[in-house]
Amino acid sequence: MSFIGNIIWLLLGGLITAIEYFISSLLLMLTIVGIPFGLQTMKLGVLALWPFGSKVVDRPQASGCLNTLMNVIWIFIGGIWICLSHLVFGILLAITIIGIPFARQHFKLAHIALVPFGKEIR
């Protein structure tokens, strides 16, 4: 089921979303200051490329204050807007019965888009 869901996801916009994340990641990595944020955007791109069957978990060693500080900076720079866009798409897809699995994937992306530092994709 996850393979078919991922193929449908890619055809209906997941590939475009992943490409947008990868392009923004490369643009963020052009500056030294943007490299940590570019790595997190790359993480979002990987999850947007193949979301079905992937899990977002907390890293056990990621409980430091640096992750919290970076998450706060991330939220103010653009994480809130990324999260809100995934929430809107998730709500719109959840209205239809056939869109509920895709809405769940958007909610997963919204969660990691809000606070990506200290998270790991498995």
pLDDT in tens, 84-110: 999 999 999 999 999 999 999 999 999
Return the pLDDT at 25: 92
**pTM, rounded to two decimals:** 0.87
Nearest residue to 51 via CA among 17, 87, 94, 89: 17
Number of domains the chain is built from = 1
| Chain segment 51-74, per-residue pLDDT in tens | 998 988 888 776 678 888 999 999
CB 89 within 8 A of CB 110: no
How many C-beta atoms lie closer than 10 Å to residue 92's C-beta? Answer: 13
Domain holding 61, by residue range, is 2-121
Give me Rg for the CA atoms of the chain: 14
Please count the CA atoms within 13 angstroms of the CA of 55 that sit on its side-chain side: 4
pLDDT higher than threshold 70 for residue 82? yes
